[in-house]
Amino acid sequence: MTIPDPGTWGAMLAILAMALATYLCRISGVALMSIIPLTPHVRRGLAALPGSIVVATVLPLIERLGVAAGIALLVALLTMILRRSELLALLTGMAAISALRAFGF
Amino acid sequence: MQAHHPCALTLGLGFRFWEAMSPEPKPQAPGQSVVEAAPITMGGMLLGLRKVSVLMPGIVVFAVAFGAAAAAKGMSLLETVLMSGLVYGGVSQLVAMELWRPEWTWGAIAGLAIVTATVNARMILQGAALQPWFAQYSKTLNAFHLFFYTDANWLIGTRYRAEGGRDLGVLVGAGLALWVVWVVATMLGYGLGALVTDPRRYGIDLVMPIFFAAMIVPLWRGRRGVVPWVVAGLVALVTAKLFDGYAFIIVGSLAGAITGAFRDDHP
């Protein structure tokens, strides 16, 4: 017996499959950590995790998006260091990238 | 803030859900106030709303860009809104647009699910990172609010925790507000369509990277904490060179966490 093709429901099923995959990602880290005992090692690993996620996300993106993106992120980072405001960091960063791209970088 | 209208809606919604999720403070061991140990308050939700409002302009444009892309791909409005509402993960939705097709086989659906899971795998680690906080709340409540867990939520929650905050309402309020704005702005983009032909020109692709980069500042704990970050960054760079896609996030982050876990062994 063969499973019938998704047919007209294909798009809907694709969306549901995406939704399911994403929700599993959302809950599995939390579920996993609730069965892993919080030893000092695990605790230190968790403490290092947020910064690691941030750096591991951003660095390769700069590499892929180009020098202009790197400069814009630096501008945003400097703004954040000086003023501690995410909104200002966003504004200066996006102004920087728009300007750089407008000039053809 | 132009996001005021949908936000008001969210709050009503969030409040009702919150009441449904935890009808009353659960009786616990005497002398241990559950409200103090694991608070989730209306005030917290409002705070979350305020914190997330900073990110709204960027998120709106991102959602508009997705709506426009979906319209261009020939998706129906219902499909587009359902994807934003149910998947609720911007990058994975844009990637799905690259893979979208008029006819679907089971293989193509499974492939799309796998790609989606790889793009969103960072959520596994983001959830793990905040699990000690979530552990104080019921499974039902966690299962509910994790549906709304995104990069923005994780950033807000992490920063809030670093400042000593404990109220889960912040995360719930931020997540619900963002979800409503995300869905509404998706419809907007679907309607506007052709107006946003090149989101790159306005730096939309940099919105999330900018917020991520800015997070380094509140996460900074002196030079001692930097070694795992450097390891995470280097491993991520190498992984990104070797493999397409977004595996670099999870591989790099894990490398950083493992480095952190074993670093203080020999002081």
Residue of A62, A57, A87 lying closest to A74 (CA atoms): A62
Q: What is the pLDDT of residues B71-99, one digit of tens each?
A: 888 899 999 999 999 999 888 898 888 78
A50 vs B: CB within 8 A: yes
Task: Please give the single-letter amino acid code of residue B103.
Answer: E
In B, which residues are within 8 Å of A19 by CB distance?
83, 86-87
pLDDT of residue B266: 47
Nearest to B51 by CA among B154, B141, B143: B154
- Do residue B127 and residue A28 have CB atoms under 8 angstroms apart? yes
- Among B257, B92, B83, B266, CA closest to A51: B257
Angstroms from A20 CA to nearest CA on chain B: 8
In the prediction, which pLDDT does B196 show? 60
Residue A43 C-alpha, separation from nearest chain B C-alpha, in angstroms: 7
Q: How far apart are CA A16 and CA A102, in angstroms?
A: 39
A16 has a chain B CB within 8 A of its CB: yes
Q: Which residue of A has its CA nearest to B205?
A: A65
How far is C-alpha B98 from the geometric centre of its chain's CA atoms? 21
The contacts of residue B240 (CB under 8 Å, 6+ apart) are A60, A63, A64, B248
Compare all CA atoms of chain B with the CA of A92 and give the residue at the minimum distance.
Answer: B210
**Cβ–Cβ gap A90/B126 under 8 Å:** no
Whether this model's ipTM surpasses 0.85 comes out as no
Q: Which of B69, B48, B38, B260 is nearest to B138 (CA)?
A: B38
> Where are any strands of DSSP class E within A1-105?
none
Per the CB < 8 A criterion, the answer to whether B256 and A55 are in contact is yes
| Cβ–Cβ below 8 Å for A80 and B255 | no
Of A51, A73, A98, the CB nearest to B219: A51
Residues B192, B69: contact at Cβ < 8 Å? no
Contact A57 B122 (CB under 8 A): yes
Cα–Cα nearest to A32, from B129, B2, B67, B266: B129
pLDDT tens-digit readout, A3-32? 777 778 899 999 999 999 999 999 999 999
The answer to whether A39 contacts chain B (CB < 8 Å) is no
Domain boundaries, chain B: 4-21+37-202, 221-267
Pick left, alpha or beta for residue B134 (phi over 0 → left; psi -120 to 50 → alpha; otherwise beta). Answer: alpha
Tell me which residue of B135, B200, B147 sits closest to B175, measured CA to CA: B147
d(CA B177, CA B172): 8
The confidence score (pLDDT) of residue B19 equals 37
Query: Using the 8-state DSSP alphabet, how is residue A25 labeled?
Result: H
Nearest residue of chain B to residue A39 (CA atoms): B261
Tell me, what's the pLDDT at B11? 35
Quote the minimal CA–CA distance from B31 to chain A in Å: 25
**Total number of residues shown for chain B:** 267
Write the CB contacts of B107 (distance below 8 Å, at least 6 apart in sequence). none
Positions in chain B short of pLDDT 70: 1-37, 194-200, 264-267
pLDDT digits (tens, 9 = 90+) for A27-74: 999 999 988 887 888 888 888 888 898 899 889 988 888 899 999 999
**Residue B138: its chain A contacts at CB < 8 A?**
none
Q: State the amino acid at position A76 in one-letter form.
A: A
The pLDDT assigned to B7 comes to 35
Closest listed residue to residue B48, CA positions, set B152, B184, B182, B164: B152
Q: What's the predicted TM-score (pTM) here?
A: 0.75
Q: Which residue of A has its CA nearest to B86?
A: A19
Would the CB atoms of A52 and B256 count as touching at under 8 Å?
yes
